[in-house]
Amino acid sequence: MQQTRTIPRLSIKPRQKTMQRILQHGDQPYRMLLLLSVFLTVALIIGIGVELWQNSGLARQAFGLKFLITTAWDPALTENFGALPFILGTLITALIALLVAVPLALGTAIFLAELAPAWLRQPLGFLAELLAAVPSVIYGLWGLFVFIPVLVRPFSIILNKSLGFLPLFRGPVFGPSRLAAGLLLAIMVFPTITAISRDVLRAIPNSQREAALALGATRWEMITQVLLPYGTSGLLGATILGLGRALGETIAVTMVIGNNLDLTASLLHPGYTMASLIANEFTEATFDLYLHSLVEVGLILFAITLILNLFARLLIWRLSLRTRTEVRV
């Protein structure tokens, strides 16, 4: 029996034999598949950069670096394009968001990591995660019909009446405004900053806490004088990741910012951001230069978020080297 089976095998040509071995063994195709997936993943990020660069060529040639500092956005008559109002709008709204979100999110992270009783920790963390799961468009819907009329508009009127002499709070108050967008963004970045800050605090070794308490520090002193300095780079990383999220947020901002090109200092005035500009005008770009200008705005947004992301991850990675526990973000 054995012999009769080996004889036909010997007659297989070497080429066929290798084919057969590959198919039987199967590791070669498997490795190829793995490498293909790796390649596709890496190609995606490179592809985004290349496509954005190529499809903004006309605008880059026509306006050069002036694109970043001119305020003209006139597709109808002069066909001049400058992105300054949108860049400023994006930065202002993101800044408002961080100013509101960071203290609150940090407080929440401290509560969740250091103070909350064990039975409360998981449900609260779960709720914070659900907050991150609510889609952007529902934040926008709620912002437009509930948040602005109930909270932001009355608050804006009070600000305007009491501090209206400052250019920052000059009227009139409409409702949709940079302030509304900034506050809504703050709610949207809470979960990001909270979750990462909580993990950063959890990663700090217990010996640090015990040492501080043993020296007679109160819990609050332990947190501010030991934990926060120890986790600074990680907490900063969490903040910057929140900033990245706020800069790229589109649909909710488009719904509550009022989409207005005026370049005023007032936070109570409707504004515009890079992302909401792309959302509003991309399908209306009727000629190539217009489209390329919009893509260049996208390219700027891509570049800013890319740099911020890398920087934030570097900071968090540095902390994880120190604590020897990995904080994945």
Partner 1 sequence: MNKYSTARKNRRKTVNIVMLSLTALATILVISPLIWILGYVIREGMPALNIKFLTQLPTPVGVTGGGIVNALLGSLMTVGLGALIATPVGVLAGFYAAVHPDTTLGVLVRFSTDVISGVPSIVMGIFAYSLIVLPQRHFSAFSGGAVLSFIMLPIIIRTTEEMIRLVPGSLREGSLALGAPEWKTSVSVVLPSALNGVITGVMLAIARAAGEAAPMLFTAFGNPFLNGDFNQPVATLPHTIFTYAISPYPDWHAKAWATALVLIVLILVLNIVARLWSQLRARRMAG
Retrieve residue 45's tokens: 């990020």
For partner 1, the closer CB: 115 or 163: 115
Q: Confirm or reject binding of residue 213 to partner 1 (CB under 8 A).
A: no
**Measured between alpha carbons, how far is 303 from 297 in angstroms, rounded to an integer?**
10
Instruction: Find the part of the chain contacting partner 1 (CB under 8 A) among 4-12, 65-73, 107-115, 163-171.
Output: 107-115
Q: Confirm or reject binding of residue 105 to partner 1 (CB under 8 A).
A: yes
Contact by Cβ (8 Å): 295, 55: yes
**Measured between alpha carbons, how far is 110 from 223 in angstroms, rounded to an integer?**
8
Q: Closest separation between CB of residue 214 and partner 1, Å?
A: 16
Residues 20-39 contacting partner 1, CB under 8 A: 25-27, 29-31, 33-38
Q: Confirm or reject binding of residue 309 to partner 1 (CB under 8 A).
A: yes
Largest Cα separation within the chain, whole Å, is 102
Contact by Cβ (8 Å): 327, 319: yes
Of residues 112, 115, 120, 121, the one with CA closest to residue 200: 112
Angle in degrees, 0-180, between the axes of helices 228-248 and 274-281, rounded to the nearest 10: 20
Q: Closest separation between CB of residue 14 and partner 1, Å?
A: 21
Contact by Cβ (8 Å): 189, 101: yes
Q: Confirm or reject binding of residue 99 to partner 1 (CB under 8 A).
A: no
Q: Confirm or reject binding of residue 131 to partner 1 (CB under 8 A).
A: yes
For partner 1, the closer CB: 55 or 264: 55
Residues 60-89 contacting partner 1, CB under 8 A: none
Q: Closest separation between CB of residue 323 and partner 1, Å?
A: 18
For partner 1, the closer CB: 259 or 266: 259
Considering only residues 17, 20, 68, 145, which one is a binding residue for partner 1 as defined by CB under 8 A?
A: 145
Q: Closest separation between CB of residue 11 and partner 1, Å?
A: 26
For partner 1, the closer CB: 248 or 266: 248
**Measured between alpha carbons, how far is 212 from 109 in angstroms, rounded to an integer?**
20
Contact by Cβ (8 Å): 204, 249: no
For partner 1, the closer CB: 223 or 266: 223
Residues 258-277 contacting partner 1, CB under 8 A: 275
Contact by Cβ (8 Å): 72, 80: yes
Kind and range of the H or E run holding 80? strand 80-81
Instruction: Find the part of the chain contacting partner 1 (CB under 8 A) among 4-12, 44-52, 159-167, 230-238.
Output: 44-52
Q: Confirm or reject binding of residue 308 to partner 1 (CB under 8 A).
A: yes
Point out which residues pair with 74 in neighbouring strands.
80
Query: How many residues bind to partner 1 according to rule CB under 8 A?
Result: 87
For partner 1, the closer CB: 115 or 166: 115
Contact by Cβ (8 Å): 75, 290: yes
**Measured between alpha carbons, how far is 28 from 304 in angstroms, rounded to an integer?**
40
Q: Confirm or reject binding of residue 57 to partner 1 (CB under 8 A).
A: no
